[in-house]
Amino acid sequence: MLMSKKQCQAKKRNGEPCNASAGETGFCFTHDATKSKERAIARRNGGLKRITPSVADKSLVPKETRTITDVMTILDFALQESLELQNSIQRGRLLVSIAHGYIEALKIGEMEGRLEAVENALSLRKENQK
């Protein structure tokens, strides 16, 4: 003979009966008034398990971003933090985005270096013409 489980006596917010199995009190874990403390602990523990701890040193991140070096420091920080995340499509997209940020910062940094070299060469030429 099959044993049937007792169904929770509570109603859901939409008025339908709760489909969860009832405990000794006739209510499920969610609806049992005597389990409020246990529910709070379970919610807290569940929330804590979802938190990924920070691994990079936040003090190295500049307060203001004004140079390519500052941008690279922020990208380094973001990369270190994202490598610790759970492997997922979103993490993959984030890593690709960070790589794109590195490429753009390197391009701009190289252009700045070239422009500075051209400006120096022009200023030397002006000095030599005097």
Q: Are residues 87 and 43 part of one domain?
A: no
Q: Are residues 73 and 125 part of one domain?
A: yes
Q: Are residues 102 and 46 part of one domain?
A: no
Phi, psi values for residue 26, rounded to 5°: 95, 0
pLDDT at residue 118 in the model: 96
Q: Which residue has the higher pLDDT, 18 or 3?
A: 18
Q: Are residues 75 and 42 part of one domain?
A: no
Q: Are residues 93 and 36 part of one domain?
A: no
DSSP 59-112: GGS-SS--SHHHHHHHHHHHHHHHHTSPP-HHHHHHHHHHHHHHHHHHHHHHHH
Q: Which residue has the higher pLDDT, 43 or 102?
A: 102
pLDDT at residue 46 in the model: 74
Q: Are residues 29 and 4 part of one domain?
A: yes
Q: Are residues 68 and 45 part of one domain?
A: no
Domain boundary among 11, 28, 51: 51
Q: Are residues 66 and 39 part of one domain?
A: no
Lowest mean pLDDT among 63-67, 75-79, 96-100: 63-67
pLDDT at position 3 over 60: no
Domain boundary among 35, 51, 67: 51
Cα-atom radius of gyration of the chain, to the nearest Å? 30
Residue pair 82/91 in contact (Cβ under 8 Å)? The answer is yes
Q: Are residues 115 and 93 part of one domain?
A: yes
The total of structural domains in the chain comes to: 2
With a CB cutoff of 8 Å and minimum separation 6, the contacts of 32 are 23, 25
Whether the model pTM is above 0.75: no
Tens-place pLDDT, residues 90-129:
999 999 999 999 999 999 999 999 999 999 999 999 888 8
pLDDT at residue 117 in the model: 95
Q: Tell me the residue range of the domain where 88 lies.
A: 58-129
Q: Which residue has the higher pLDDT, 57 or 47?
A: 57
Q: Are residues 78 and 43 part of one domain?
A: no
pLDDT at residue 1 in the model: 44
pLDDT at residue 122 in the model: 94
Q: Are residues 64 and 10 part of one domain?
A: no
Computed over every residue of the chain, the mean pLDDT equals 88
Q: Are residues 121 and 72 part of one domain?
A: yes
Copy the structure tokens of residue 66.
């004004």
